[in-house]
Amino acid sequence: MKIGFIGLGNMGGPMAANLAKAGHEVTGFDMAPVEIDGVALAASGAEAAAGKDVVVTMLPNGQILRAVANEIVPAMDKGAAFVDCSTVDVESARAVAEQATAAGLLPVDAPVSGGVGGASGGTLTFMAGGSADAFAKADPLFDIMGQKAVHCGDSGAGQAAKICNNMILGITMIGTCEAFALADKLGLDRQKMFDVVSTSSGYSWTMNAYCPAPGVGPASPADNDYQPGFAAELMLKDLRLSQQAAEAADADTPMGQAATDLYKQFVENEGGLGMDFSAMLPRFEKRGRS
């Protein structure tokens, strides 16, 4: 396929490189100067999108996605797929999908899970929203960039799945960190805590696969001075998106709101900026009951 790829940062760059490595003709564009193996660089987003079978975007937020869509949708050929892999608000995803559909394009919102390591290794999970035809056109590219793609429903469903997933992740990480901090104060050895919880009803991904306690469980950012990984500010972004969606849908999400408030405090006031989201553990260790 001829592929345009807009947004060649820490996630988009490796994803575009994997598409090129698989033999696709990839033309990319980014506001920052970049060099990606196998990817030709265009002078603008519109130039990268013109004449392509598929255009992939990986952008920071919904406002930028809307601006990029205004630029590239008129330049794209009818029948081309517009695959947005950014994590943005559901309203922006649906608005851009409507714009693309009106122009005769096949829109797919397909945010990812797996982080920079997954982008480099081609092991991302894609949560996709859009028509069956749009998903079918994008699916071969998902197979290259990731290990799994789930068609979640109509436009916006991919973003909804990502937001709900990461709300669970943020809430669960806080609970895991709180439990380790409590275990410390009760004199319970961390390894013994892990041995019990990881094989009983407290089992979770944040405990078993991404343990926030250094030296316990599989290697994780906790074993690298809490260097991300998945940065706390990105978790805060996703939690804010979850609460924006909850407000729009009139959904009661008190735990999601509490997690949002805690990560906001951690990132903005407690040195969490630039740390992995599991660095909530040393944050709780320093605090007493208030």
237 included as an active-site residue: no
Nearest 5 degrees, angle CA 115-CA 118-CA 120?
Answer: 110
Contact status, residue 97 vs residue 156, Cβ threshold 8 Å: yes
Distance, CA of 33 to CA of 39 (rounded, Å): 13
- From the candidates 52, 137, 162, 237, which is the catalytic residue? 162
| Region for residue 211 given its phi and psi (left: phi exceeds 0; alpha: psi -120 to 50; beta: otherwise) | beta
Answer positive or negative: Cα dihedral of 29, 31, 33, 35. Answer: negative
Q: Which two tokens stand for residue 166?
A: 């990461």
Contact status, residue 41 vs residue 27, Cβ threshold 8 Å: yes
Residue 209 CB burial class (10 angstroms; 0-12, 13-18, ≥19): exposed
Report, as residue numbers or ranges, the catalytic residues. Answer: 162
